[in-house]
Amino acid sequence: MSRVIVFGGYGVFGSHVARALAAWKTPLTIAGRELAAAEAFARRLGGDCKARTGDVTRPDSCRAALEGHTVAVNCAGPFHNLNTALLEACLQAGCHYVDIADDRGYSARVSSFGERFLQRGLAAVHGCSSLPGISGALALLARDATQAAVQRARVTLFIGNRNPKGRAAVRSLLAGLGRPIAAPQGTLLGFHDQEVVPLPPPFGRRGVFNFDAPEYDLFPALLGARAVTVKVGFELRSATYGFALLARLGHAYGARMARVLELPGRLSAWLGCSGGAVMAELFLSDGSVRRAALIGRRDGQRMAALPCALVARALCEAARVRPGTATAYDFLGAGPLLAKLVDAGFELHTGP
């Protein structure tokens, strides 16, 4: 049977991807820089699950880890400064590639490999997470419900407080604070421009701020939108507005600040819920608004990781694969992807 290797498979999001694949009885290898951690997690998963050392930044490590695998899953962030060693290794090894990256720059780097994956008959499916995987599927669902032209698209990612905060995710967020975001309508600044969005219950109206994400590059062609914004907000308003304050004080935050933020994150980890939401709003030429949102009242990180697991499973099971680069909603189809997420227990909300 086809075998999947998950780089960063014992991390926050990688563990969700690995658990889903293991539950589907997919032959699985957990890979990471720390072999002991990979082995311990593989034992907990049980079944046909192995462990290997794997460093996605080193070509020799990637090539050695990929031997005997059909699909490589990249959950080893942060992605904003990640090189293309694993992509090159997949091409050499004849291995399909999947990632959970929501980083705009990395998404563009994967897309630039499209012709090379096409020539090798391989698939590279990127952004298989909340952004842009789920958000793109939601935007297509909302667009199909109207005949009017899309003038502006707004995406919101809302994160429940009881979701574990990996250092890689915090560093990725810090890297974008106060930095320019090239949008179709002009330049925005990371974590500036507060807007209040109407999320479905139980979350309600929330203040959210600018976030750089692949949708700025994908949505103009996907929807015909002349303006795109991506927003992010946290269940704890103090966290949302704290990051907004940091964005105004500067934009040179790195690993040291990420470590500083770990303590308040741990102290407040018991508050709120583990849920989350992704919402796409389309502002139309006739003055109306169409919305589609996917809600997790709990297990928000599992919701974000499931598109990656679903794509990896599909690549294992398919007799033939459409080669080249694609997003999760391109590869699986927007409707089927959302249907599988609803089947997994998450709520789909649509309407004006």
The runs of H, that is alpha helices, within the chain are 12-23, 35-45, 59-66, 85-93, 104-111, 114-120, 135-143, 167-175, 215-223, 237-249, 255-267, 300-317, 328-332, 334-343
pLDDT at 172 exceeding the cut of 80: no
Q: How buried is residue 263: exposed, middle or buried, by Cβ count under 10 Å (0-12/13-18/19+)?
A: exposed
Interval 179-231: pLDDT, tens = 999 999 999 999 999 999 999 999 999 999 999 999 999 999 999 999 999 99
Interval 275-327: pLDDT, tens = 999 999 999 999 999 999 999 999 999 999 999 999 999 999 987 899 999 99
Please give the tally of structural domains in the chain: 2
Judgement on whether residues 162 and 270 belong to the same structural domain of the protein: yes
Tell whether 15 is covered by a domain. Answer: yes
Interval 87-142: pLDDT, tens = 999 999 999 999 999 999 999 999 999 999 999 999 999 999 999 999 999 999 99
Judgement on whether residues 68 and 170 belong to the same structural domain of the protein: no
Judgement on whether residues 140 and 268 belong to the same structural domain of the protein: yes
Tell whether 351 is covered by a domain. Answer: no
Tell whether 58 is covered by a domain. Answer: yes
Judgement on whether residues 34 and 167 belong to the same structural domain of the protein: no
Tell whether 352 is covered by a domain. Answer: no
Q: How many CA atoms lie within 13 A of 349 on its CB side?
A: 19
Using the structure block, give the residue that is written with the tokens 């704290």: 242
Strands 289-296 and 276-284: antiparallel
Interval 47-57: pLDDT, tens = 999 999 999 99
Tell whether 187 is covered by a domain. Answer: yes
Judgement on whether residues 228 and 318 belong to the same structural domain of the protein: no
Q: How far apart are CA 177 and CA 190, in angstroms?
A: 5
Judgement on whether residues 83 and 211 belong to the same structural domain of the protein: no
Tell whether 78 is covered by a domain. Answer: yes
Q: Which domain holds residue 289?
A: 130-300
The CATH number that applies at residue 177 is: 3.30.360.10
The CATH number that applies at residue 103 is: 3.40.50.720
Gyration radius from the chain CA atoms = 19
Last residue of a domain, one of 269, 285, 300: 300
Judgement on whether residues 292 and 320 belong to the same structural domain of the protein: no
12-23 and 300-317 helices, crossing angle to 10°: 50
Model confidence band, residue 14 (pLDDT cutoffs 50, 70, 90):
very high
pTM, rounded to two decimals: 0.95
Out of 219-223, 269-273, 343-347, least confident range: 269-273
257: Cβ contacts below 8 Å, ≥ 6 apart? 174, 246
Q: How far apart are CA 17 and CA 53, in angstroms?
A: 18
pLDDT, mean of residues 233-242: 94
